[in-house]
Amino acid sequence: DAKTTQPTSMDCAEGRAANLPCNHSTISGNEYVYWYRQIHSQGPQYIIHGLKNNETNEMASLIITEDRKSSTLILPHATLRDTAVYYCIVNNYGQNFVFGPGTRLSVLP
Amino acid sequence: GAVVSQHPSWVICKSGTSVKIECRSLDFQATTMFWYRQFPKQSLMLMATSNEGSKATYEQGVEKDKFLINHASLTLSTLTVTSAHPEDSSFYICSARPGSLQHQPQHFGDGTRLSIL
């Protein structure tokens, strides 16, 4: 499975958009990009996933570059409850996810 | 949709005790379930992959005789930590993947915090 690189931490003002980047330069053609978040002492929560097209759901938008070597998760209007560790995972066939350290997002009032 | 329930949420027991953790997919069938472990301030680490009706596949370094996994139905997998010791204290999390399309995302339970005294 391809490895991902994410910033260790980010801050975002409440009400503003949070843009979380992820580099996956070794991604292969049939690997999907998945985003999860983990709030302290809970299991990871699924946010969104995509292959090559941009995706949007009620939680977030996923922007994947044309060469698929990087992606950005966008939380359009961050709230304090969005404070969490965000994980970007690339994976083939949804089998064994490999969790990196993720990005610790702090939404500030 | 895609709710995974894990029970118990936390358990404290004496060293040498065996502990069973249940993972249920409430509104979908899961051919494959996964068990992870997370130590404080670390990321999740996959322990094993559980397939309904067959033996689990364990990751390197995970003792299959210590962490017994049973996946007897499409909605239930169990992890039993046998003869638990303080070093087994951790946050155990299960996940399940719905459907037959292999790119479907995994959905996670809320985890079980295990403390061995």
Residue range B15-38: mean pLDDT, rounded: 94
Minimum Cα–Cα distance from A91: chain B residue: B103
B39-64: average pLDDT = 92
Contacts of B46 in chain A (CB under 8 A): 96-98
Averaged pLDDT for residues B72-77? 90
A44 → chain B, closest CA residue: B108
pLDDT at B43: 93
User: Cα separation of A26 and A6, whole Å?
Assistant: 14
Min mean pLDDT across A47-61, A83-97, B41-55, B71-85 is at A83-97
In chain B, what percentage of residues exceed pLDDT 90? 75
Please state, rounded to an integer, the average pLDDT across all residues of chain B.
92
pLDDT for B97 equals: 86
Contact criterion met (CB < 8 Å) for B113 and A41: yes
Q: pLDDT tens, A40-72?
A: 889 999 999 999 989 999 999 999 999 999 999
Rounded Cα distance, A29 and B114, in Å: 40
